[in-house]
Structures are given as structure tokens and as C-alpha cells.
Amino acid sequence: MARPSKCKRICEMPKCQSFSSLQTNPQEISLTLEEYETIRWIDGHDLSQAECAERMNAARTTITRLYDSARKKMALYLINGGTLKIEGGTYQVCTSENRCRNCCRKVNKECIK
């Protein structure tokens, strides 16, 4: 029996949730919000995987898996074209009313699936 997914903390929703190439038969690749957030922290803010794990309230091994998956999906999009969508996952979003100490926002207790 698989272990249930733990909510990962998302501090910022993507500004753009879909990217498309000029291709006649586009392949759709889906990047989860957790994968996006991992790329945002590690590559966008130059954090280590351990620092990213702390901010997202997840294990470092989980962050490694998410990061590897996100990089492979983005590489496929760059090589083959198509559509890259950022959607779905198991996460909780920080809001301005609920600030968390790691990203200057509190944690929203509701988990989105």
C-alpha cells in the first residue's frame, strides 16, 4: 500500500501556468506545482536542496525527486516542443493572511489536491 502524499508548501503561484511552442501536433507536458516550486527555489533563488526542503516542508529526498522530475520534463519540452502546463499536485499555498517563517508568510492549513 502506497504512503499518502504529504502537502508541500507553495509560497508563490506561477505567474504563467502554460507555455506553448509553434508546433502542429503539440505534446502536453504537465509540471506539478511542487516541481515548479522546487525549480523556483533551487535554480531561481540559488538555494540548496536542504534549504528548499525546509521552505517547502518536505524531506530533502522528496525535493531531490521533484527536482529531477521537473528538470526532465522541462528538457523534454525544450527538445520536443509542445505545451508545458504547471498544474496539480498536493500542496498548501501561503497567503498574505497566513505567513510562514521561511518565506515571510504563514502556512495555510488547507491542503489542495
Q: For position 58, which CATH number holds?
A: 1.10.10
Residue 103 lies in a domain: no
Residue 82 lies in a domain: yes
Strand partners, 20: 83
Residue 69 pLDDT grade (very low, low, confident, very high; cuts 50, 70, 90): very high
CA-nearest of 71, 90, 93, 83 to 30 is 83
| pLDDT tens-digit map of 86-100 | 998 888 887 655 555
Domain span holding position 80? 8-93
Higher pLDDT, 7 or 57: 57
Predicted confidence at residue 98, as pLDDT, reads 52
Report CA Rg, the chain: 15
Residue 79 lies in a domain: yes
Q: Provide the domain count of the chain.
A: 1
